Amino acid sequence: MSVIHLKAFKLIQSVFVLLALLEQALANDVQTLSLQDLLNQKTELHQSSTSVSGISESIQDAPAAIIVIRHKDIERKGYASIDEILQDIPGFDTSIPNGTVYSIAYQRGYRTNWTQRTLVLIDGKVDNSLWTHSAIISRQFPLNAIERIEVIYGPASVVYGPNAFLGVINIITKDANNMLAEDDVYAEIAIEKGSFNTQGIDLSTGFKYGLWHGSLGLRLFNSDEAHINDLSPWGYTDPALLQDPTIWGPGIGQGVDPVTSRTSPLGDINVNGEVEQSELFNGQALGQYFDPSFNRGVLAKLAYDNLAIEYINWHTDEGYGPYYSFADAQPNASWVYGSEQVAITHQWQLSKQLDIKSQFVYRNSQVAGDWIESYGTGVSISKWNSYSDAWRFEQEYQYRWSPTLMVSGGIKYEQKQLMKGYMICNYWANSGICPAQGVNSESGFTSDGSGVINVNEISSNHYTTLSPDARISDNPDFNTFKTRDQGVYGQLIWDVEDWRFSLGTRWDNNSLYKEQVSPRLAAIYHYSPKLTFKWIYGEAFQEPAPVNLYGGWNGRINNEGLKPEKVTNFEFITQYQTQSWLHDVSLYASEYTDVIADSSNVQGRDIWGVEYRGHYRFANPIPQAATITGQIYYTYTDTQSDMQYDNQLGQWLEQKAETGDIAANKISWHLNWPLSPHWNINTIVNWVGRKALFSQNPLRQDSNSNREQDIKLDSYTTTDVTLRYDTEGIDVGLKIENLFETEYYSPGPEGAGAGDNFTQDGFIQDNDGFHNSLLPQLKTRTATLFVEVEL
Q: Could you read off the pLDDT of 471-487 as tens digits, one per residue?
A: 998 899 999 999 999 99
Q: Are 755 and 769 in contact (CB under 8 A)?
A: yes
Q: What is the pLDDT of residue 760?
A: 54
What sections of 126-241 are H helices per DSSP? 157-160, 176-179
| Calpha distance 152→155 (Å, rounded) | 9
Least confident of 67-71, 435-439, 705-709: 705-709
Instruction: Compute φ and ψ for 696, nearest 5 degrees.
Output: -75, -15
Q: What sign does the dihedral 469-473-476-482 (CA atoms) show?
A: positive
317: pLDDT strictly greater than 50? yes
Supply the pLDDT for residue 34: 44
User: Binning pLDDT at 50, 70 and 90, where does residue 734 land?
Assistant: very high
Task: Name the DSSP letter for residue 283.
Answer: T
Mean pLDDT of 252-277: 92
Q: Report the sign of the C-alpha dihedral through residues 50, 54, 55, 58, in that order.
A: negative
Buried b (16+ CB within 10 A) or exposed e, 49-78: bbbbbbbebebbbbbbbbbbbbbebbbbbb
Instruction: Give the whole-angstrom CA distance, residue 214 versus residue 207.
Output: 6
Closest CA to 739 of 784, 680, 676: 784
| pLDDT score of 9 | 53
Average pLDDT over residues 295-315: 98
What's the sign of the alpha-carbon dihedral 153, 157, 160, 166? positive
Question: What pLDDT is attached to residue 13?
Answer: 47
Can you give the pLDDT at residue 762?
A: 45
pLDDT above 60 (res 218): yes
Task: Give the pLDDT band of residue 19 (cuts 50, 70, 90).
Answer: low
In angstroms, the CA 628 to CA 423 distance is 55
Phi-psi region of 14 (alpha: psi -120 to 50; beta: other; left: phi over 0): alpha
How large a percentage of the chain has pLDDT more than 90?
78
User: Which secondary-structure segment (H or E) carries 438?
Assistant: helix 435-438
Proportion of the chain above pLDDT 70, given as a percent: 93
Residue 439 is predicted with a pLDDT of: 86
CA of residue 349 relative to chain centroid, distance = 36
d(CA 251, CA 273): 9
Residue 12's pLDDT band, with cuts at 50, 70 and 90, is low
Beta partners for 218?
203, 298
DSSP 483-509: EEEEEEEEEEEEEETTEEEEEEEEEEE
- Give tens-digit pLDDT for 77-132: 999 999 999 999 999 999 999 999 999 999 999 999 999 999 999 999 999 999 99
Query: Over the stretch 356-368, which tens digit does the pLDDT of each residue have?
Result: 999 999 999 999 9
| CA angle at 103 for the pair 100 and 105, rounded to the nearest 5° | 125
pLDDT of residue 250: 92
| Confidence (pLDDT) at 20 | 43
Q: Which domain holds residue 239?
A: 3-790
CA distance 181 to 396: 29
Q: Which helix (H) or strand (E) holds 72?
A: helix 71-76
Please name the amino acid found at residue 737: E
pLDDT of residue 1: 47
Give me the pLDDT at residue 17, please.
43
Q: What is the pLDDT of residue 22?
A: 54
CB contact set of 206 (below 8 Å; sequence gap of 6+): 174, 176, 179, 180, 185, 186, 187, 213, 214, 215, 216
pLDDT for residue 33 is more than 60: no
pLDDT in tens, 325-359: 999 999 999 999 999 999 999 999 999 999 999 99
Phi, psi values for residue 486, rounded to 5°: -125, 140
pLDDT digits (tens, 9 = 90+) for 604-618: 999 999 999 999 999
Q: Phi and psi of 183, rounded to 5°?
A: 55, 50
Radius of gyration of the chain (CA): 27
How far, rounded to the nearest angstrom, does the alpha carbon of residue 86 sit from its chain's CA centroid? 8
Coil, strand or helix at 221: strand
What are the pLDDT digits (tens) for 380-392?
Answer: 999 999 999 999 9
| Structural domain count of the chain | 1
SS (H, E, C) 651-701: EEEEEEEECCCCCCEEEEEEEEEECCCCEEEEEEEEEECCECCCCCCCCCH
Residue 537 has pLDDT above 90, yes or no: yes
**553 contacts 546 by C-beta, under 8 angstroms:** no
d(CA 418, CA 133): 12
What integer is the mean pLDDT of 139-150? 96
In angstroms, rounded to a whole number, what is the distance separating the alpha carbons of residues 492 and 619?
Answer: 42
In angstroms, the first-to-last Cα distance of the chain is: 59
pLDDT value for 45: 57
Please say if the pLDDT value at position 223 is more than 60: yes
Whole-Å CA distances, 5 to 107, 110, 357, 660:
19, 16, 39, 19
How confident is the model over 751-779, as pLDDT tens digits?
898 888 876 544 555 555 899 999 999 99
- Per-residue pLDDT band for 602 (boundaries 50, 70, 90) equals confident
Q: Is the pLDDT of residue 394 over 90?
A: yes
Residue 715 phi/psi, 5-degree rounding, is -70, 160
CATH number, domain with residue 482 = 2.40.170.20
3-class DSSP assignment, residue 744: coil
pLDDT at 11 over 60: no
Interval 545-559: pLDDT, tens: 998 888 777 767 778
